[in-house]
Structure 1
Amino acid sequence: MRYLLDTHVLLWSRASPERLSAEVVALLRSTENTLYVSMATLWECAIKVCIGKLVVPEGFFRIVANDYEILDIELAHLEATLQLPLLHRDPFDRLLVAQARLGGLTLVTRDRNVIRYQVPVVEA
């Protein structure tokens, strides 16, 4: 299976995996799965670090790039966000939904707003 991790799932998987469901911990550990992290997620983390809302360890972005498949932001992803209903206004979440849809990925999240979109989800 191919999974796209929401930002909080990525952060919890690194710092506090006990916050994740047993199902999600298992899928993260399975070598049969391909795990994707969006460049949008890394950008969101960088913004939060800059404004003091998040602390990450030295080399965090390189570690993530080594441990996961990085999903670049493409023009088609941006265009797909325009087709999404305005269920909420978080641009990063909307981009993840668009990427999951276009890429045939299952989104791993606990965000109720994201779950409302018509995209395959595993609840974290």
Structure 2
Amino acid sequence: MSDPVNAVLVSAASIWEIEITRALGRLDAGDADFVAELKVNDFGELPVRAAHASIAAQLPSHHTDPFDRMLIAQVQAEGLVCVTVDPIFDAYGVATLW
């Protein structure tokens, strides 16, 4: 990441969700290598940490999607802005962009 102030981080949870969705046949992404694309686009990786899992488990039950809950926990824990159009993120008071 050449500019840490404007860094784009991609959660491991997002890659996990994409790959599961593709494996189930619900996403036609061809042979795209999303991990390689992180490097090509100078995106950083946001790992899933134990603290994130703990926060995700304690979130209010506005939403039950485990991937979204992990992203919300990561945004809260790391003080990040989440790029999403999903209005459910507003219920958790996290900063969003889109």
Identity %: 34
Number of aligned residue pairs: 94
**TM-score after normalising by structure 1:** 0.69
Return the offset for 1:34.
0.6
C-alpha RMSD of the superposition = 1.9
Partner Cα distance (1:44, 1:55) in 2: 13
CA contact (8 A) 1:109 1:115 kept: no
Partner Cα distance (1:103, 1:59) in 2: 28
Q: Does 1:51 align with 2:24?
A: yes
Listed as ranges, the matches of 1:107-118 within 5 Å are: 107-118=82-93
Partner Cα distance (1:31, 1:81) in 2: 26
Flag the structure with more relative contact order, 1 or 2, with Cα contacts below 8 A and sequence separation at least 6.
1
Structure 1 residue runs without a partner (length 5+): 1-29
Structure 1 stretches of 4+ moved >3 Å: none
**TM-score after normalising by structure 2:** 0.85
